[in-house]
Every structure is written in C-alpha cells, then in structure tokens.
Amino acid sequence: MQFRPCIDIHNGKVKQIVGGSLKDSGNQAEENFVSEQDASWYARQYKKDHIRGGHIILLNPEASEYYEADVTQALGALAAYPGGLQIGGGIHPGNARRFLNAGASHVIVTSYVFKDGKIHFDRLKALSELIGSQRLVLDLSCRKKGSEYYIVTDRWQKFTTEKMNLEALEMLAPYCDEFLIHAVDVEGKASGIEKPLASLLGNFTGRAVTYAGGVGSFEDLSTLKILGQNRINVTIGSALDLFGGPIPYEIVKYLGTEKEALPKLYRKDEVF
C-alpha cells in the first residue's frame, strides 16, 4: 500500500470538502478546509518527497464561472511537478491532450465514459486510442444503494446503473492504466473507510487501484491495508495535516517505501 496525495480544487481554491455535499447549482460544497496555499505549493511538496501518482481533481464543471480559475490552479501544479500528477474532473477528448501536454502523467475520466447512466464503450475505446490506455485512469467512484455499490458521475451527484464490482473492474481494465475509486458516502468525513468496498478492491489484481474516502486515523490505514491485502493505494484528504487534519504527512509519505518501518519509532501503535 502506497500513499497517493491529492489536490482538490473548487471555486479556484485548494479545498477539502464533504464529497456528498457537492452541488453544481450555486457552486456549493460543505467545506472542511480551504487552503491559503495554491495548488503549485502542494505539487512542489510532493515533488520534493518523490511521491508520484497523486491526483488533481477539478470540482467545478466547465460551465461554472470558476472553472477557468480551477484550471489555472491545476496548470500551475502540473508545471511545478511535470509527470508526477494525474488530473481529473470534466476530462473529455477535447481537453485531455491539453492537460497531458501541460505535464499530467494521466488523465482521470468518469462522466465522459459513463454517460446517461450507463457505460459507453465507443467513447471509452476512442479516448483510450486517442491518448493511449497507459495514460488513462478510470474513476469508478461509487455510492451504496441497498447492499451494492453503483458508479456515480457528474461530480458524484448522479447514480449510474453500473455496479462497482469485480466484474466491472475486470471488464474495464484493458482500456486503462489504473483505477481511482472514491467511497463517496464517506468522502471528506474522516469517519472510517468503507470496509466492504476495501475488501472488494483487495481481491482485484488486474490494475493498480487507489482508494479514497473516510480515512481518519492510523487504525483506518491499518484496516485498509489488511482488507485490501496490501494491494491498494490510499489517498488521505481531510484527515491529513496538510489539510488541517490530525494525520502527519511526514509519516504517511513513507507508506510503501523502504523507509516505511521508520515511523514506527515515533508511534506506540503498530499499524503498518
């Protein structure tokens, strides 16, 4: 399990929000943290520590008055750490190459592929061929309905009819390099991970997977590592001290490296 950082941008600022509260109408979201630093500051930090594979997420739609401010922030981060960060949020064939040319290692896509509540393989294949599957991350962020998880789109506001399960992962794996999966119901709450989802992801071996949502403590990280069979990577948002939370970045940055054992010297609990 490796740490994958994030830079979430909303209304032109780096923020941490409660995922389920995001609304396009009025550019609204319940905020946990609004940074005084710009996105490039975070990118420089991740570059300094040689942490690759983090993601920038644009949380406003292209139609929003704040979209260009989001993009300006994102381009600054990509310039600060070329090749080190992925970017998602409203990505489609018309803008994918702009972000790749600006320094993104990958683009992250959901809504363009999962349109009108279902997957469109013609769109997926065309995008994969346009940029190369090795530069495409599929975001299968999901919410629970009944006892099952369903992929959600349009900044996590709309349910699709597509279930998030092993069959979906295996079906989509040939078209992408990685998967990013936010557990939207706990995203931004630091209230504990979605254990059934973590267990599901731990049984998948076909592509790299990054899990985000609900991590609020070292105990949550330990649980995720066990349920995920040490296969899935983790994003920590609101709970990270860089975003005002209690989990020290200076410890979790070692996850998955040869220095992972070092932080144990500074903690009483044995979680990694």
pLDDT in tens, 121-164: 999 999 999 999 999 999 999 999 999 999 999 877 899 999 99
Q: What is the mean pLDDT of the chain?
A: 91
Output the pLDDT for position 78: 98
pLDDT band of residue 13 (cuts 50, 70, 90) is very high
Output the pLDDT for position 265: 44
pLDDT band of residue 33 (cuts 50, 70, 90) is confident
Whether residue 259 has pLDDT greater than 80: no
Host H or E run for residue 272: none
Under DSSP, the state recorded for 213 is S
Q: Cα separation of 162 and 47, whole Å?
A: 36
Phi, psi for residue 235 in degrees, rounded to 5: -105, 135
Residue 17: exposure state from Cβ atoms within 10 A (0-12, 13-18, ≥19): buried
Host H or E run for residue 10: strand 6-10
pLDDT band of residue 24 (cuts 50, 70, 90) is confident
> Rg (Cα) of the chain, in Å, rounded?
17
Q: Where are the domains of the chain?
A: 6-266
Q: What is the pLDDT of residues 162-216, one digit of tens each?
A: 999 999 999 999 999 999 999 999 988 889 999 999 999 999 999 999 999 999 9
Chain centroid to CA 169: 16
Share of the chain above pLDDT 70, in %: 93
CATH T-level assignment (fold) for domain 6-266? TIM Barrel (3.20.20)
Output the pLDDT for position 261: 59
